[in-house]
Structure 1
């Protein structure tokens, strides 16, 4: 009986060590997908002075986008842009330029969320003075040439101004629709000009 009991202790210790080794191996092994960095929100590419252009099927320029810096994140396929500038260019219409302090864009830049001193500038054309719209944030759907915000907006064009809360923008039609709390002062082109007193 003594021979049997002396053999049980080393076998038990050895079996426990084998079980612990197997458990440790499986506990520390990461799945293949976890090693590619997709679970972390770290940039995989950083670009300085980046410029991109979107062309239509015929090769005509639809819009261009520029930024002082672009950081691409592989986990959600988004990009963060510092000092972005988006310009819609058309030979028949005035150029519309959108600027902000920062932006977040989806993988193919079909949706760009701009924030921090957002400005929309429409160049002067014909009888129309240049237009400036200012707001704290704006979401642009680049492919649809539309944008929207729920924030307070101030639009100025020459001596006229209008402000409100919430706005729908159509860059194709070049229309700006304020949604609520709208007030402003619009100068009529038919109003008589006041003569300065001499």
Structure 2
């Protein structure tokens, strides 16, 4: 009986044990790659440039699947051929780049198309949330909107370029300039 107990003890001591499974690390907000002095272009099936983003530096965060870009410059051509340009001090984009938050001196400009009499449109603010595919811009902070020579200011903004609907809220002020291009 003693010999059996001693053998069992020896076997228990010398049998390899499996280490407990490593505990899952909590996701940390650290970039997994960087881009410096970059330009990324996207093209449509016909080979025409659809969009381009340039920046000083970009960081991708895998825990949130977001991209932060310093000093971004985004150029996009919509389906009607209108050029849209966006700039800011910083941009945060979701994984598929369908939403971009422009932070710090944010400006979104829709240039006047050559075949359309619509004037140039510029939206400025400290924060602009751009929904790329839907061609919408929102802001919960004060904005200045310039449409041709007309200037509007508001405490918040909701703009839908496809539906041609602009909503300014809060203290709204506007200055409309007379059209000097036509004779009475």
Same topology, TM > 0.5: yes
Q: 2:83 touches 2:113 (CA, 8 Å); kept in 1?
A: no
TM-score (norm 2): 0.73
2-structure distance, mates of 1:88, 1:58: 16
Distance 1:63 1:177 in 2: 26
User: Structure 1 143/157 Cα, relative in aligned 2: closer, same or farther at 3 Å?
Assistant: closer
Which of 61, 68, 86 is the aligned partner of 1:80?
68
TM-score w.r.t. length of structure 1: 0.69
Q: Secondary structure at the match of 1:147?
A: strand
Distance 1:128 1:41 in 2: 44
Aligned pair count reads 171
Report the structure, 1 or 2, having the larger helix content. 1
Map 1:169-188; keep pairs closer than 5 Å: 169-172=159-162, 176-188=166-178
Q: Decide which of 122, 133, 137 is 1:143's aligned counterpart.
A: 133
Q: 1:192 to 1:59 in 2, by over 3 A?
A: closer
1:89 corresponds in structure 2 to 77
* Structure 1 stretches lacking a partner, 5+ long: 1-10, 194-198
Q: Tell me how large the CA RMSD over aligned residues is.
A: 3.5
How far is the alpha carbon of 1:173 from its aligned partner?
A: 5.8
- For residue 30 of structure 1, the aligned residue among 11, 22, 46 is 22
Correspondent of 1:164 among 137, 154, 157: 154
